[in-house]
């Protein structure tokens, strides 16, 4: 993610009960600066995919603060 996208992505993950376990950067002097995160969702994979799909779609829309 870009730095301005991090908070909205974390809020979205928390809203769908996915735990963020790490936020970090792998690179030095990158431009644009890229942020990575690790997250953990518990439950059947199909349920996680179904429940999270609409939220990921929303993050990518203009005006959502992300994308």
pLDDT value at residue 56: 75
Residue 50 lies in a domain: yes
Rounding to the nearest 10 degrees, give the CA dihedral for residues 11, 38, 19, 66: 10
**What pTM was computed for the model?**
0.73
Alpha carbon separation from 17 to 2, 12, 41, 60 (Å, rounded): 22, 9, 7, 19
Instruction: Report which secondary-structure segment, H or E, holds 59.
Output: helix 45-59
Higher pLDDT, 59 or 17: 17
Residue 66 lies in a domain: no
Residue 33 lies in a domain: yes
Peptide bond into 32 cis (omega under 30): yes
In total, how many domains does the chain have? Answer: 1
Q: Is the pLDDT of residue 62 over 90?
A: no
* 10-53 confidence digits (pLDDT tens): 998 898 888 999 999 989 999 999 999 999 998 898 888 888 87
What gap in Å lies between CA 55 and CA 22, rounded to an integer? 20
Confidence of residue 67 (pLDDT cuts 50, 70, 90): very low
């Amino acid at each position: 993610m870009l730095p301005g996208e991090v908070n909205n992505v974390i809020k979205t993950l928390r809203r769908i009960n996915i735990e963020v376990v790490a936020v970090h950067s792998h690179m030095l002097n990158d431009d644009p600066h890229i942020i990575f995160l690790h997250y953990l969702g518990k439950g059947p994979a199909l349920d996680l995919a179904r429940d999270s799909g609409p939220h990921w779609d929303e993050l990518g829309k203009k005006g959502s603060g992300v994308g």
